[in-house]
């Protein structure tokens, strides 16, 4: 029996690639470099399924290519704002994602960033490596307390709740959140969480603001020149959601002018390009999109992709269908 042809746009963990090869006629992007729009068009025309990642752009101009063979985009990742969903629907393309399996690892990175920006960890590391540290003194490298501080979460889904549990039960942090939909009562009680009625309420009260909302037209530049002014001068911003949620120039100005104390970022507008303004600042911690970057998580994500493909080719209900 002829195997279905599947194209994997970026390299996966070895164990999952091996499983994929056993199941399908797989072509890997051996160079592991981002592909061009023309290359993606060709892939759509020559494969039964394509498995993109969050760094692969599939706008309407790509999805509208004629003579498509591909019927499913089995996305490696939870976010799918890199795929034009409206165009996918018009072209009758199924889109799936990989929710759930990366919740804890991404929440871990959010807490890592919170701790690093609060205690000036990246700045201290640079100081020591540059051999500029002159020894301990009472006023050197003063940061902010984490234990007992207030954490405000914008978006309170799986990852936001996981971070809140780590913060509340691990660091005795007070939890507040802003979320468009209702949250299960047991979650609120477990965390003694306060729901904010507005973004303004949360921003004005939180010591640490952590972003966990999806990317899209409604959340683009949610943190901007006006909203960042609502934050405390002692507050820190954490972003492990999507880069577009934050106006980079507005955040750079706020950090430069000490409107807020610091920031911890794992995602960026136009990544992997990073605004040069961030690189000149000491009060920002910058990580290279490490949210789900553990061997266990990336393997589980690949297995999720394969589960969606298996269901599709078997004509069964897809576990993680977006459209």
CATH number at residue 224: 3.40.50.720
Q: 151 and 168 share a domain?
A: yes
Alpha-helical segments (H) within the chain: 14-23, 37-46, 60-63, 85-90, 103-118, 121-129, 158-171, 185-191, 199-205, 248-256, 276-279, 295-313
Alpha-helical segments (H) within 206-288: 248-256, 276-279
Q: 142 and 263 share a domain?
A: yes
Q: 156 and 44 share a domain?
A: no
- What's the CA angle centered on 168, arms 117 and 258, to 5 degrees? 25
Query: Does the residue 30 lie in any domain?
Result: yes
Q: How many domains, the chain?
A: 2
Average the pLDDT over 236-265 and give the result: 98
Write out the H or E segment, with its range, that includes residue 49. Answer: strand 49-51
Q: 154 and 27 share a domain?
A: no
The predicted structure's pLDDT at residue 255 = 98
Q: 123 and 220 share a domain?
A: yes
Q: Is the pLDDT of residue 1 over 80?
A: no
Q: Is the pLDDT of residue 211 over 90?
A: yes
The token duo for 318 is 């897809």
Query: Does the residue 251 lie in any domain?
Result: yes
Residue 94, strand partner residues: 72
Average the pLDDT over 308-313 and give the result: 98
Query: Does the residue 255 lie in any domain?
Result: yes
Q: 168 and 55 share a domain?
A: no
The token duo for 4 is 């279905």
The predicted structure's pLDDT at residue 215 = 87
Query: Does the residue 319 lie in any domain?
Result: no
Q: What amino acid positions are annotated as catalytic residues?
A: 242, 271, 289
282 is in which domain, residue-wise? 103-286
User: Tokens 């020559």 — which residue?
Assistant: 46
Q: 243 and 265 share a domain?
A: yes
Query: Does the residue 300 lie in any domain?
Result: yes
Q: 89 and 228 share a domain?
A: no
Please, which pLDDT band fits residue 199 given cuts at 50, 70 and 90?
A: very high
In angstroms, the CA 122 to CA 113 distance is 10
Q: 153 and 169 share a domain?
A: yes
The predicted structure's pLDDT at residue 216 = 87
In angstroms, the CA 190 to CA 101 distance is 22
Helices (H) and strands (E) in the chain, counts: 12, 12
Q: 273 and 153 share a domain?
A: yes
Query: Does the residue 321 lie in any domain?
Result: no
Torsion angle, alpha carbons of 47, 53, 56, 57, to 10: 90
Reported as a single tens digit per residue, the pLDDT across 294-305 is: 999 999 999 999
Query: Does the residue 144 lie in any domain?
Result: yes
Reported as a single tens digit per residue, the pLDDT across 262-299 is: 999 999 999 999 999 999 999 999 999 999 999 999 99
Query: Cβ(139)–Cβ(163) under 8 Å?
Result: no
Q: 127 and 245 share a domain?
A: yes
The predicted structure's pLDDT at residue 14 = 97
The predicted structure's pLDDT at residue 64 = 98
Query: Does the residue 320 lie in any domain?
Result: no
Cα distances (Å, whole numbers) of residue 228 to 90, 117, 238: 38, 17, 12
Q: 96 and 112 share a domain?
A: no
Q: How far is CA 162 from the centre of its chain?
A: 14
């Amino acid at each position: 029996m002829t195997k279905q042809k599947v194209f994997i746009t970026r390299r996966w963990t070895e164990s999952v690639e091996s499983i994929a090869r056993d199941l399908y006629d797989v072509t890997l992007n051996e160079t592991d470099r981002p592909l061009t729009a023309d290359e993606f068009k060709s892939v759509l025309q020559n494969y039964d399924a394509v498995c993109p990642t969050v760094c692969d752009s599939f706008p309407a101009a790509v999805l509208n290519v004629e003579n498509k063979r591909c019927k499913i985009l089995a996305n490696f990742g939870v976010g799918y704002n890199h795929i034009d969903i409206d165009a996918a629907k018009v072209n009758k393309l199924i889109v799936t994602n990989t929710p759930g399996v990366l919740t804890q690892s991404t929440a871990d990175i959010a807490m890592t960033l919170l701790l690093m920006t609060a205690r000036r960890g990246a700045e201290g590391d640079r100081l020591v490596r540059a051999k500029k540290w002159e020894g301990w003194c009472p006023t050197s490298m003063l940061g902010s307390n984490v234990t007992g501080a207030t954490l405000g979460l914008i978006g309170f889904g799986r990852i936001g709740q996981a971070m809140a549990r780590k913060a509340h039960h691990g660091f005795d942090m007070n939890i507040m959140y802003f979320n468009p939909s209702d949250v299960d009562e047991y979650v609120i009680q477990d965390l003694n969480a306060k729901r904010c009625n507005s973004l303004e309420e949360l921003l004005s009260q939180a010591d640490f603001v952590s972003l966990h909302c999806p990317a899209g037209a409604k959340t683009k530049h949610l943190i901007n020149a006006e909203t960042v002014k609502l934050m405390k001068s002692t507050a820190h911003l954490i972003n492990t959601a999507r880069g577009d949620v934050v106006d980079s120039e507005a955040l750079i100005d706020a950090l430069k002018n000490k409107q807020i104390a610091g920031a911890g970022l794992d995602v960026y507008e136009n990544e992997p390009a990073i605004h040069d303004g961030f690189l000149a600042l000491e009060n920002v911690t910058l990580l290279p999109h490490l949210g789900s970057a553990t061997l266990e998580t990336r393997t589980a994500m690949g297995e999720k992709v394969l589960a969606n493909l298996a269901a599709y080719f078997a004509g069964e209900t897809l576990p993680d269908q977006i459209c």
